[in-house]
Amino acid sequence: MKEVTVKELEALKSSGTDFQLIDVREPNEFEIAEIGGELIPMNSVPQNVDKFSKDKQVIVHCRSGKRSGDVISWLEANHGFENLYNLKGGILAWADEIDPSVQKY
């Protein structure tokens, strides 16, 4: 599985690169802390496959990287995606390395 670090994500955001950021956590988690991704909770991914771009880099994240990794594996196996990247360490790594104002939970 392809991954990006939080530092690589920060560079993509700063450079204005056209990519998609998808958050697969639950709505209550999104309310606690978010980093600008589109919320598509893990359990709703099968009904929302069409919301994942196939034309540009898509970075998928969750709290720590486990759920987003599971979502990517499922999408690659069942829908042939080749442009998905897991955010290594998830939003916890973002809070630790990039923005300490993002609340950890």
As annotated, the active-site residues are 62
| DSSP string computed for 25-36 | S-HHHHHH---S
Exposure letters 65-75 (e unless 16+ CB within 10 A, then b): bebbbbbbeeb
